[in-house]
Amino acid sequence: MKKNIVVALSGTGRSLKNLVEYTRNSDVFQVAGVVSSSKKALGLEIAREYGIEVFYESFSKSSVASPELSCWLRKKNPDLIALAGFLKVFPTKFPGNNGEWASYKTVNIHPSLLPKFSGKGMYGQKVHEAVLQAGEDFTGVSLHFVTDVYDEGPLIAQVKVPVKENDSVSRLSSRVFEAECKLYPYVIEGLLLGSLPKKETLMITINDVSE
């Protein structure tokens, strides 16, 4: 039986689309629900297109989830929660009805080689602008567990992506996103199956990212 993941987003849902498309040929997992912190997120359209149930709330900064989110997640019972462009703080503690607490394995993808180019305000194109401005030879993608500290949970895997001469933000961001599209489903499957190589941080080389 396929495992269930929930995807949390705030924006366009490009990673959601990538994950859902991937699951068409995967026996390992399916996207059982989408959490959004924005009513206007374009990602909600993608969720509707694929018939995936959506939960919306504006989210406070608390690490304790609302009773509504806790209840919704209890019903979904996800094996993993994958943040995909989620711009708020995702809770780590989920209250139950009878004083018990739940927690979920939650991962995030960030479009840089963490800890570089991270933290509040470092998202989307801003990351790639900063990478170009700093004159880096390499950037990349990082997968990490979500803790109460934004962008700072333990790293799971990283992939390096070259910065080319005369790169533009848009060229660099497409190259990085191409790497994200390969790394995210690979790591999710690996975590769900327990099949990721046991290294502290897995450094993956993706050779076929556009030159």
Interface residue list for ligand GRF (CB under 6 A): 11-15, 84-85, 109-111, 177, 180
Q: Which is nearer to ligand GRF, 79 or 180 (CB)?
A: 180
Tell me the closest approach of the beta carbon of residue 151 to ligand GRF, in angstroms: 9
CA 186 to CA 93: how far, in whole Å? 26
**Phi (first) and psi of residue 186, to 5 degrees:** -60, -45
Q: What angle do CA 12, 69, 92 make, to 5 degrees?
A: 85
Residue facing ligand GRF at closest CB distance: 85
Tell me the closest approach of the beta carbon of residue 98 to ligand GRF, in angstroms: 35
Q: Which is nearer to ligand GRF, 120 or 198 (CB)?
A: 120
Strand locations in the chain, DSSP E?
Answer: 3-9, 29-36, 54-56, 80-83, 94-95, 101-102, 106-110, 138-145, 155-162, 202-204
Q: Which is nearer to ligand GRF, 70 or 110 (CB)?
A: 110
Q: 7-35: string of b/e by CB count within 10 Å (b at 16+)?
A: bbbbbbbbbbbbbbebbeebebbbbbbbb
CA 143 to CA 210: how far, in whole Å? 21
CA 115 to CA 201: how far, in whole Å? 13
Q: Which is nearer to ligand GRF, 70 or 84 (CB)?
A: 84
Tell me the closest approach of the beta carbon of residue 207 to ligand GRF, in angstroms: 21
DSSP 3-state assignment of 11?
coil
Tell me the closest approach of the beta carbon of residue 9 to ligand GRF, in angstroms: 6
**7 CA to centre of own chain:** 8
- What amino acid positions are annotated as catalytic residues? 110
Pairing outcome for strands 80-83 and 94-95: unpaired
Q: Which is nearer to ligand GRF, 95 or 116 (CB)?
A: 116
Tell me the closest approach of the beta carbon of residue 56 to ligand GRF, in angstroms: 15
